[in-house]
Amino acid sequence: MASASVQLRPIIEADFDAVALFLREQLNRRVPVAAWKRLLAPPWASTAPNSGFQLVAEDRIVGVYVAVSSEREVDGRTLRFCNLAAFCVREDYRSHSLRLLRALLGQKDDVFTDFSPSGNVIALNERLGFVRLDTSTRLTANLPSPPRRGVHVSEDPAVIAAALTGEDAAVYRDHRHAAAARHLVVTAANEHAYLVFRRDRRKRLPVFATPLYVGGSRSLLRAAWPAVASRLLLRHGLAATLAEPRILGFAPNPGRSLSSPRVKMFRGTAVPAERIDYLYSELTLLEW
């Protein structure tokens, strides 16, 4: 297709219905249009000028790259994050795919993340300066466990809001209504641990918990993990956890390490790799 006949345009609010329909039809029919629209309009504040870019030919969308933007405080600095959230181009227009990615990278955000690259996108990202995060993953069964005296696990919004302060409180406010983010808090004496996780699907089974962020005391979360795992099983129906020690801060036992964990990537020098979590991304906004 000639470049002149394929226009590159930003995705703005007026495009949300058409972009969401395109993604449902071309990328994942299991995800309803309403869910795709929520990806385009996250529940937190952002000053981003658009929600990504689209390719348009003869007044129809032929490709999109949805971006989820956020501003986050890191070591006293406000940094702009751009999460590359959903990439789909019709096969007969694949030669224009790079235009979408270059447009996003050209917006000069401080940190770019891509938490679900696949196929040729991984190699393309690497050529453009993305590096792989350490996604070493331990698959651990969530087993029933009796309550532990003095340790309380709760998903009650009032309990969570009362326990959290500072950055954790801000994270909860921003993600409380994010469709794929689930929250629980562990409290003991004067400590708390805050876990944000999602339900994931492997081999068509939606029974896996994936931790996205840990706040508060990681040592408390580790000590209370049997109670947390029991809660994930009995309250949420999640039979196992896909635990990344980089996120959790520890590797739960018993379990086994995955030989080929999912690739996740980022680009930017403003934040070290160990500080990258999975908040403010499609992993918190979209269930599939």
CATH of the domain at 57: 3.40.630.30
What is the rounded distance in angstroms from the CA atom of residue 113 to the CA atom of residue 130? 8
What is the rounded distance in angstroms from the CA atom of residue 84 to the CA atom of residue 68? 7
Residue 177 placed within a domain: yes
Residue 235 placed within a domain: yes
Q: Who's near 98: CB < 8 A, 6+ residues apart?
A: 124
| pLDDT single digits (tens) 78-88 | 999 999 999 99
Kindly state the percentage of the chain with pLDDT values over 70.
99
Specify which residues 39 forms β-bridges with.
none
| pLDDT single digits (tens) 218-230 | 999 999 999 999 9
Q: Which domain holds residue 87?
A: 3-134
Domain edge (last residue) among 81, 103, 134: 134
Same domain, 185 and 145: yes
**Predicted model pTM:** 0.94
Same domain, 33 and 113: yes
The answer to whether residues 8 and 103 touch, using CB atoms and an 8 Å cutoff, is yes
Confidence at residue 4, expressed as pLDDT on a 0 to 100 scale: 61
The answer to whether residues 76 and 61 touch, using CB atoms and an 8 Å cutoff, is no
